[in-house]
Amino acid sequence: MEELGRATTSWTQTHLHDLPDVILTNIFAAVIDTRTRNSMSLVSQRWLALERSTRTTLSLRGNVRDLFLIPTCFQSITHLDLSLISPWGFSLLDPSSSPSDPYLISHRLSQAFPSLTSLTLYARTPSTLQLLAPRWPNLRQANLVRWHQRAASLPLGSDFISLFESCPSLSSLDLSHFYCWTEDLPPALQAYPSTAASLTRLNLLTLASPEGFKSHELIAISMACPNLHHLLAACMFHPGYVDFVGDDALLALAVNCPRLSLLHLADTSSLSGTRGDPENDGFTHEDARIARSTLEELFAGLPLLEELTLNVCQNVRDAGPALEVLRYKCPRLSSLTLGQFHGICIGTGTHLDGVALCVWLQSLSIKNCADLTDSSLVAISRGCWRLVKFEIQGCKRITETGMTKFAGILRPTLIDVSISCCKHLDASSSLRALEPIRDRIQRLHIDCIWAGDWLDRSDCLAKIVHDFDLNEFEEEEASELGHPAGYVNFLAQNQSRDGDSRDTKRKKKCKYSADEGCSYNRSNGNGFWSRTWKRLHYLSLWISVGQLLSPLPMAGLENCPVLEEIRIRVEGDCRRRPKPSEPAFGLSSLVCYPQLKKMQLDCGDTIGYALTAPAGHMDLSLWERFYLNGIANLNLSELDYWPPQDRDVNQRILSLPAAGLLGECLTLRKLFIHGTANEHFMNFLLNIPNLRDAQLREDYYPAPENDMSTEMRVDSCSRFEDALNKHHIPD
């Protein structure tokens, strides 16, 4: 016993910082979260040195005018992000935004980060890369960012010449947020063949050109980069345009780039994210010029394919037989996205066909498939039994019954679901269809459409209660009226008659056991059945302008105990909408989610009057008040907000009511406003005690070249940042 006591005493005197540096280094390297690493570095000088020596990723947010603040202790950094340097949107080495010598800045950065292999940079002009690229000749990954229009006076390829010339080992180039001309890239790649041959990843999903990359450009890129493993490109598939992407371009990809493991070709119209019309029959006026034999040769020529996206936005008919080739020619395929493909699965009888034969799929996205039916969906679930992620969009023949069977069959694996723009699947029916996986699903997107105007129908149902005894219905029978069963019970239990009968029915056992996440909520006394989405941590919503968010919890999402992030996209034309009958959009209804910390509120596709609105119409400031009212009731730590816009002036401007309401969000630590604002409006944000990171970002194309005199400029941003940095932040 004495020996055990001595051992215990010896053990209690051993601390974590007594571990050898080799072990501690491995522990530090395994920690990814930035705030956690910062906290660890405060323990001791030894831990500080270990943290700095093991950090490999860093994002700088400061102003380049503070040259002396560039950190020099991160000598092991390999991935550096300079795209968020303030004032955002200006060239890093632009003398107008920094009084420091551009050569001195570039030299200081190269000394501070000598081991750099990956760079993310806002390159508004070619001069930025001309100064920085030679500093890191071993650069292997480059992610360029620019939201302004390309200067017409620049020669073709001038944006890339410095990068390709100085970094011959470049293996990855991401231009998805870099707005250039599509004809710029092919000549630059052809001028530097060794650099082009070293590229293995190329992301060209840019919206700079409404037509995307043409056929001859795509062929030229594939010929210049024969070693590509990943290729993502925005293309023009419409046969009405000259040099559209068709059979020739697809066959050239298979011949020139046989090592492709990821191929993502999307029509530019599909990249805007604008929701389609659910009433559309699903067929376009013209067919894509892509033959079945072409698809089969494409699949046969890419045996290493693991992820495939073909979002054509033009009819590809009778695609099922061609997709069956994927099973045998592309055995590694795990992710598939098809847009405007028809006949992908017939689903009759027990015979599997089409895409249902792709048994190795873990992710499947089907968009605008006109003839996809419930039986097709069931066949896909039987064949693709490994699916973890499923997205369905614009398929008007799919119903709640089909989705329920689909989810039930895939219950062991399915955790990520997106249902959008399907005529027969509104918010309530989508949530009911996912009942079989409600206790497993982790990520979800639905459209906030309340069938037949959900709120108005609730009044109709209240009248039915007076005429019928709803206590005669079982839970599942009541839900067939088009409302959550709990809402029916709520109406029934608030009637004055048959109180004893109600108490008897209230004690009936729910068909869902407690283990499945369904329990009766007696605490609120309203008679609702509380169905728990116990693993849902991310929720994405689409909602039409003028509609309310308030019915969302009542529609079936009342209990989400671990929901931590939500994205809300509002879309529509405010100018044609009457004034809302309610004073608020309904953000206050989200207080029922206790762990909600992150929100993206995207009103960027909400169009209205920025200036004086005609009589009887609301301007955008009043619409912003409507959408942001109640946000202060949420305990958010991060918020990304896209203000509504007036496209006639091509600006997204934060209004006075919006600034005041955002200033009441006292728990915010990070606030990105994807637009601009008047300087005195931004002063409202200084009232947020814990605000650590605030930024204005004009990340929409084309970004305004010249801001108005009353909006944020370089000096205004500097004054706001200085005031923000004077805050005392408790932690």
- Per residue in 288-336, pLDDT tens? 999 999 999 999 999 999 999 999 999 999 999 999 999 999 999 999 9
CA–centroid distance for 640 within its chain:
12
The tokens 């909400």 sit on which residue?
606
Give yes or no for residue 495 having a pLDDT over 60: no
693-696 vs 638-642, strand pairing mode: unpaired
CB 428 within 8 Å of CB 403: no
pLDDT at residue number 190? 96
Whether 24 and 114 share a structural domain: no
What CATH number did the domain enclosing 359 receive? 3.80.10.10
Least confident of 29-38, 64-73, 428-437, 525-534: 525-534
Q: What pTM value is reported for the model?
A: 0.85
Residue 315 phi/psi, 5-degree rounding, is -55, 125
The 3-state DSSP class for residue 542 equals: strand
Dihedral Cα 641, 642, 645, 650, nearest 10 deg: 130
CA angle 477, 481, 561 (to 5 degrees): 80
Q: Which residues constitute the domain of residue 168?
A: 57-181
**Mean pLDDT for the stretch of residues 692-699:** 88
Whether 258 and 245 share a structural domain: yes
**Mean pLDDT for the stretch of residues 260-270:** 94
Residue 98 confidence class, pLDDT cut points 50, 70, 90 = low
Choosing from 339, 374, 408, the residue where a domain stops is 408
Total Cβ atoms within 10 A of residue 18? 8
Measure the CA–CA gap between 441 and 390, rounded to whole angstroms.
11
Per the structure, how many domains does the chain have?
A: 5
Whether 107 and 226 share a structural domain: no
What CATH number did the domain enclosing 41 receive? 1.20.1280.50
Residue 49 confidence class, pLDDT cut points 50, 70, 90 = confident
In a domain, residue 5? The reply is: no
The mean pLDDT of the chain is: 84
Total Cβ atoms within 10 A of residue 535? 18
Least confident of 51-55, 66-70, 623-627, 656-660: 66-70
In a domain, residue 190? The reply is: no
In a domain, residue 517? The reply is: yes
In a domain, residue 280? The reply is: yes
DSSP letter assigned to residue 553: G
Give yes or no for residue 485 having a pLDDT over 50: no
Whether 395 and 257 share a structural domain: yes
In a domain, residue 538? The reply is: yes
CB 478 within 8 Å of CB 470: yes
In a domain, residue 192? The reply is: no
- Mind listing the pLDDT tens digit for each residue in 197-224? 999 999 999 876 677 899 999 999 999 9
Whether 440 and 514 share a structural domain: yes
In a domain, residue 314? The reply is: yes
Give yes or no for residue 707 having a pLDDT over 90: no
Whether 177 and 218 share a structural domain: no
pLDDT at residue number 710? 54
Residue 651 phi/psi, 5-degree rounding, is -145, 145
Give yes or no for residue 722 having a pLDDT over 90: no
pLDDT at residue number 187? 95
**Of 674, 616, 666, 611, the residue nearest 642 (C-alpha):** 674
Choosing from 55, 83, 103, the residue where a domain stops is 55
In a domain, residue 11? The reply is: no
Token pair of 539 as six digits: 């929720």
Whether 170 and 51 share a structural domain: no
CB 137 within 8 Å of CB 162: no
Paired with 264 in beta bridges are: 232, 309
- Mind listing the pLDDT tens digit for each residue in 632-663? 999 999 999 999 988 877 778 899 999 999 99
Whether 61 and 151 share a structural domain: yes
Whether 229 and 278 share a structural domain: yes
Cite the beta strand spans of 346-453 per DSSP E.
Answer: 363-367, 389-393, 416-420, 443-447
Choosing from 31, 55, 79, the residue where a domain stops is 55
Measure the CA–CA gap between 629 and 626, rounded to whole angstroms.
6
Whether 335 and 267 share a structural domain: yes
Give yes or no for residue 5 having a pLDDT over 60: no
pLDDT at residue number 586? 95
Token pair of 51 as six digits: 């943290």
Give yes or no for residue 731 having a pLDDT over 70: no
Whether 223 and 343 share a structural domain: yes
- Mind listing the pLDDT tens digit for each residue in 664-680? 999 999 999 998 888 88
Whether 558 and 570 share a structural domain: no
